[in-house]
């Protein structure tokens, strides 16, 4: 296995990173996947159950901002590419306290860039090996009722989380410009699917409904998000990492714009369908009756939507999962998780 090209994947114990590692492990048995993850509250090794014994997968528990550790990883392994997911990712937490967001998202990204640059320059492969930065449509700011973000939309982050991601992206771009490093950035819309942390919207709705607790929705619930099934995101990342020209940026969308209140209602009606006995117990007509509006999130962006025609045209990608089927699979997955924890 020492001979296999090594990919450094950061944040692989989180939601998208773990889905990506599973996807890559299945699709490319010829890579060795090195997962550098600090295992913060958001990282969960059970997201990677089944891979622990694989000869082509290794978990390194550590901080991307730890210079000594990151440089030693490049010394010990011949790293052929970096796919960088690790981040503090929850907007609400960044509003409470943003320091860790700068430390991980900006400083951590810089440490990875410096280590990759130093190692690849020494080996004479700086232009060949790729640094792929995983970004979000939130860096572009907020939209009115119409329009979409393109890859050229200037950054206009509105909360500390998106500001730290924009800062990281700019650092990545600067390494492309200054050192001619082979960097790419992809910015996707909201992901959904299995293995997301319970603090995020969809798992929260499911768990609250199953506990017969109020389902909190910020403000009037009319904020619009575009939803991308995580497997579709993973396929897009595979294409971008392997085929995109150096120094390019791609938006990745799901083509599923929906208001938060409507996705909450949709999830509740899926739950009505798959848990009728529970609904009967609660004496509710529908789990929708649990929805309650709370004070709006500070600086809550109204609408995000991305134009991903560049990715579709240049790399031939399109999402495969419709929101209705993807949401049903996802809700069922969280219900199964919940039931396996509730009745061990
Ligand atoms: P997540 O919070 O589920 O996972 C983040 C992972 O990073 C966790 O495993 C955590 O332990 C790890 N981590 C955090 N700080 C670290 C550090 N200092 N060193 C090493 N590891 C650290 O996040 P996610 O939702 O899977 O998002 C992954 C990436 O995708 C992030 O960069 C995020 O900005 C981006 N993104 C997410 C979405 C989305 O909808 N979830 C959309 C667009 C972009």
Per-residue model confidence as pLDDT tens digits over 242-260: 999 999 999 999 999 999 9
Q: How far is the CA of 40 from the centre of ligand 1 (A)?
A: 10
Domain segments of the chain as ranges:
6-193+228-255+304-320
The reported pLDDT for the residue numbered 343 is 61
Asked if pLDDT for residue 317 goes beyond 80, the answer is yes
pLDDT band at 340 (very low <50, low <70, confident <90, very high): confident
Q: Whose CA is nearest to atom 4 of ligand 1?
A: 14
How deeply is 240 buried, as exposed, middle or buried, from its count of CB atoms within 10 A (0-12, 13-18, 19+)? buried
Tell which wins on pLDDT, 296 or 159: 159
153-162, 170-179, 293-302: which range is least confident on average? Answer: 293-302
Which atom of ligand 1 is closest in space to residue 65's alpha carbon? 18
User: What residues contact residue 136 under an 8 Å CB cut-off, 6+ apart?
Assistant: 162, 165, 187, 188
Instruction: Give me the mean pLDDT over the 51-55 stretch.
Output: 95
Which atom of ligand 1 is closest in space to residue 63's alpha carbon? 19
Catalytic (active-site) positions:
137-138, 161
Which atom of ligand 1 is closest in space to residue 197's alpha carbon? 3
Q: How far is the CA of 120 from the centre of ligand 1 (A)?
A: 25
**CATH code given to domain 6-193+228-255+304-320:** 3.40.50.720
User: Does ipTM top 0.90?
Assistant: yes
Spatial separation of the C-alpha atoms in residues 280 and 70, rounded to whole Å: 54
DSSP 231: H
Q: Whose CA is nearest to atom 37 of ligand 1?
A: 136
Residue 58 three-state SS: strand
- Mutating to test ligand 1, I would choose from 39, 40, 172, 308 the residue with most ligand atoms within 8 A of its C-beta, which is 40
Q: How far is the CA of 194 from the centre of ligand 1 (A)?
A: 14
Digit-coded pLDDT (tens) for 189-230: 999 999 999 999 999 999 999 999 999 999 999 999 999 999
pLDDT band at 1 (very low <50, low <70, confident <90, very high): very low
Q: How far is the CA of 224 from the centre of ligand 1 (A)?
A: 22
Instruction: Give the pocket of ligand 1 (CB within 6 Å).
Output: 10-11, 13-17, 36-40, 42-43, 63-65, 85-89, 104, 108, 134, 136, 165, 188, 190-191, 197
Which atom of ligand 1 is closest in space to residue 138's alpha carbon? 43
pTM of the model: 0.97
The reported pLDDT for the residue numbered 301 is 86
For residues 180 and 173, the answer to whether their CB atoms sit within 8 Å is no
Digit-coded pLDDT (tens) for 83-135: 999 999 999 999 999 999 999 999 999 999 999 999 999 999 999 999 999 99
Which atom of ligand 1 is closest in space to residue 161's alpha carbon? 34
Q: Whose CA is nearest to atom 25 of ligand 1?
A: 15
Q: How far is the CA of 322 from the centre of ligand 1 (A)?
A: 24
Percent of residues, the chain, with pLDDT higher than 90: 93
Instruction: Give me the mean pLDDT over the 161-190 stretch.
Output: 98
Spatial separation of the C-alpha atoms in residues 5 and 175, rounded to whole Å: 23
- Mutating to test ligand 1, I would choose from 8, 10, 16 the residue with most ligand atoms within 8 A of its C-beta, which is 16
Q: How far is the CA of 288 from the centre of ligand 1 (A)?
A: 30
Q: How far is the CA of 64 from the centre of ligand 1 (A)?
A: 12
- Both tokens of 80, joined, read 């052929």
DSSP collapsed to 3 states, 176-224: HHHHCCEEEEEEECEEECCCCCCCCHHHHHHHHHHCCCCEEEECCCCCE
Q: Whose CA is nearest to atom 14 of ligand 1?
A: 87
Q: Which long-range contacts (CB under 8 A, 24 or more apart) does 237-242 make?
A: 237/20, 237/83, 237/132, 237/134, 237/186, 238/23, 238/24, 238/27, 239/311, 239/315, 239/316, 239/317, 240/132, 240/184, 240/186, 240/311, 240/315, 241/81, 241/83, 241/130, 241/132, 241/184
The reported pLDDT for the residue numbered 2 is 54
């Amino acid at each position: 296995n020492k001979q296999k090209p090594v990919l450094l994947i950061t944040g692989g114990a989180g939601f998208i990173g773990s889905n990506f590692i599973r996807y890559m492990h299945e699709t490319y048995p010829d890579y060795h996947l090195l997962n550098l993850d600090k295992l913060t509250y958001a990282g969960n090794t059970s997201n990677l159950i089944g891979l622990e014994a694989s000869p082509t997968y290794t978990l390194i528990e550590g901080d991307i901002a730890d210079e000594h550790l990151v440089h030693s990883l490049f010394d010990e392994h011949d790293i052929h590419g970096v796919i960088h997911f690790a981040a503090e990712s929850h907007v609400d937490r960044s509003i409470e306290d943003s320091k860790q967001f700068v430390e991980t998202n900006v400083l951590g990204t810089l440490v990875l860039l410096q280590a990759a640059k130093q190692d690849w320059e020494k080996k004479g492969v700086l232009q060949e090996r790729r640094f792929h930065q995983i970004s979000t449509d939130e860096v572009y700011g907020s939209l009115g009722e119409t329009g979409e973000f393109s890859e050229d939309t200037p950054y206009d982050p509105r909360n500390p989380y998106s500001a730290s991601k924009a800062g990281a992206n700019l650092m990545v771009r600067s390494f492309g410009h200054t050192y001619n490093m082979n960097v790419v950035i992809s910015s996707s819309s909201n992901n959904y699917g299995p293995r997301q942390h319970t603090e995020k919207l969809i798992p929260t709705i499911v768990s609250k409904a199953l506990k017969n607790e109020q389902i909190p929705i910020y403000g009037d619930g009319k904020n619009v998000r575009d939803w991308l099934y995580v497997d579709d995101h993973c396929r897009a990342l595979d294409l971008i990492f392997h085929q995109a020209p150096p120094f390019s940026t791609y938006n990745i969308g799901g083509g599923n714009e929906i208001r938060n209140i409507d996705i909450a209602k949709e999830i509740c009606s899926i739950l009505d369908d798959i848990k009728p006995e529970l609904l009967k117990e609660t004496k509710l007509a529908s789990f929708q009756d649990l929805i309650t509006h709370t004070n709006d999130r500070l600086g809550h962006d109204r609408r995000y939507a991305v134009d991903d025609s560049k990715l579709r045209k240049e790399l031939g990608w399109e999402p495969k999962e419709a929101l209705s089927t993807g949401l049903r699979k996802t809700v069922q997955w969280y219900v199964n998780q919940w039931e396996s924890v509730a009745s061990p």
